[in-house]
């Protein structure tokens, strides 16, 4: 049985494709199995965006799905040349654990090769120690004990109601977000996205400075975009509702007021090359109440796959795990060019992603902006995804709502109309 044919059928599963496809030697495949290689080239399209292929959300594609996608990509190819391959795929069976173990071995060998080559380059002086550290940071080593005590989720409905609904988490400054999305609790991961120069930092400063007063634990803001001091100044403005000139007029009193309102809880980590390993160390050390990633797509240490969309998916999967372990996580990323000058951003406007980013988030908030002088202080919020339970004051009709808010950049605030 042709191993690559077995892998081709296995890769109809999106999870296996995303995790292991990079281990396949495309050059060898093209030279020795050209027909199968051509089918492999269809897989990125098959697992592409819903807009491309009418995706119904299924992780497992069928041989028929592959055949249709192949015909769409290569309409001039004669059917009779590939019919025997599709027939063989239909009846082909394989042992999932054995195949997964084989793919894991391939992946481990590739990782070891990356480390060895980089270490050699460091020893020869052509690469820096940081390059090797970056490669090592991307290697995940896991171990599973022979026996494990499982902490099962309680089935007590009263307790579930109390912890998941009645007890509020971190509330938003914007009342509309409290009604439409609800407060943030441990395990909640979502992201805000918008075009550049729309007001993402202003939004964060407005909301984070309000949430800081609701906890006595730190809020860790990983910042690899703007200057750290500038971001903290925006938090001062958002917390106190003052312009920068007003802040300077009475610095001592304003600093005291900022701390009184929880401003000391806001800890900004400025590191343009932050790695997942360093992030995990910081979170373990400080036990935060909230984590901000601005911009999350720039976090380094994810090198399992050369494809950008898959690498980004790994980042968002990891961020969701951090939310489960520590606290709510808010990420920030860019909207693509399709969102330029657009009021209501949708999930299809998220930059550099097919479905990976969107699939991992519990909630997604798009901030739209239009080029109209009369609307320069207006932003358009759209909850394109919302899996949160909300709070007692939630408005079920606005779970995926669209609404307008006012932006006041001079005091780093967003306000409801």
Query: pLDDT tens digits, residue range 311-357?
Result: 888 899 999 999 999 999 999 999 999 999 999 999 999 998 777 78
Q: Which of 206-220, 245-259, 304-318 shows the lowest mean pLDDT across its residues?
A: 304-318
pTM over 0.75: no
State whether the Cα torsion 400-401-404-409 is positive or negative.
negative
Residues 173, 240: Cα–Cα separation, whole Å: 13
413 pLDDT higher than 60: yes
Six-digit token string for 88: 């063989």
The pLDDT-based confidence of 403 (bands split at 50, 70, 90) is: very high
Report whether CATH 3.40.30.10 matches the domain 167-416: no
Range among 93-97, 136-140, 258-262, 309-313 with highest mean pLDDT value: 258-262
The whole-chain average pLDDT of the chain stands at 87
Is the pLDDT reported for residue 74 higher than 50?
Answer: yes
Which tens digit of pLDDT belongs to each residue from 181-203?
999 999 999 999 999 999 999 99
Question: Residue 51's pLDDT band (boundaries 50, 70, 90)?
Answer: very low
Measured in residues, the chain has a length of 417
Distance, in Å, from the CA atom of 358 to the CA atom of 190, rounded to the nearest integer, reads 9
Burial 219-254 (b: 16+ CB within 10 A, else e): bbbbbbbeeeeebbebbbbbbbebeeeebeeeeeeb
What is the average per-residue pLDDT within 13-25?
Answer: 77
Residue 97 main-chain phi, psi, to 5 deg = -60, -40
In this predicted structure, the answer to whether residue 407 has a pLDDT above a threshold of 80 is yes
Task: Give the model confidence (pLDDT) of 148-172 as tens digits.
Answer: 555 677 778 888 788 777 788 999 9
- Ranges of each domain in the chain: 3-94, 98-137, 167-416
């Amino acid at each position: 049985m042709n191993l690559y044919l077995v892998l081709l059928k296995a890769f109809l599963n999106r999870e296996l494709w995303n995790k292991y496809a990079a281990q396949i030697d495309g050059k060898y495949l093209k030279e020795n199995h050209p027909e199968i290689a051509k089918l492999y080239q269809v897989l990125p399209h098959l697992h592409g965006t819903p807009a491309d292929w009418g995706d119904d959300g299924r992780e497992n594609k069928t041989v028929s799905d592959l055949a249709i996608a192949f015909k769409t990509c290569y309409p001039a190819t004669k059917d009779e040349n590939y019919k025997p391959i599709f027939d063989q795929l239909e009846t082909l069976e394989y042992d999932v654990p054995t195949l997964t173990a084989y793919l894991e071995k391939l992946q481990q060998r590739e990782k070891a090769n990356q480390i060895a080559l980089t270490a050699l380059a460091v020893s020869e002086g052509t690469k820096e120690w940081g390059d090797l550290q970056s490669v090592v940071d991307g290697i995940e080593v896991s171990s599973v004990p022979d026996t494990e005590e499982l902490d099962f989720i309680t089935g007590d409905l009263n307790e579930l109601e109390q912890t998941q609904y009645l007890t509020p988490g971190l509330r938003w400054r914007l009342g509309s977000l409290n009604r439409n999305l609800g407060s943030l609790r441990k395990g909640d991961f979502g992201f805000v996205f918008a075009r550049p120069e729309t007001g993402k930092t202003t939004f964060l400063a407005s909301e984070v400075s309000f949430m800081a007063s609701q906890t006595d634990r730190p809020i860790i803001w990983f910042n690899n975009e703007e200057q750290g001091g500038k971001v903290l100044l925006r938090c001062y403005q958002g917390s106190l509702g003052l312009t920068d000139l007003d802040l300077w007029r009475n610095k001592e009193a304003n600093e005291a007021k900022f701390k009184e309102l929880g401003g000391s809880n806001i800890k900004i980590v400025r590191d343009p090359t932050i790695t997942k390993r360093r992030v995990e160390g910081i979170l373990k050390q400080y036990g935060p109440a909230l984590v901000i990633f601005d911009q999350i797509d720039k976090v380094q240490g994810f090198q399992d796959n050369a494809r950008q969309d898959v690498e980004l998916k790994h980042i968002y999967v990891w961020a969701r795990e951090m939310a489960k372990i520590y606290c709510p996580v808010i990420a920030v990323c860019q909207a693509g060019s399709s969102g330029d000058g657009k009021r209501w951003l949708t999930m299809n406007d998220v930059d550099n992603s097919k479905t990976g980013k969107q699939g991992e988030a519990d909630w997604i908030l798009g901030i739209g902006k239009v080029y109209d002088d009369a609307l320069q202080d207006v932003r358009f919020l759209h909850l394109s995804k919302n899996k949160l339970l909300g709070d007692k004051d939630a408005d079920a009709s606005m779970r995926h709502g669209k609404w307008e808010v006012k932006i006041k950049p001079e005091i780093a605030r967003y306000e409801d109309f």
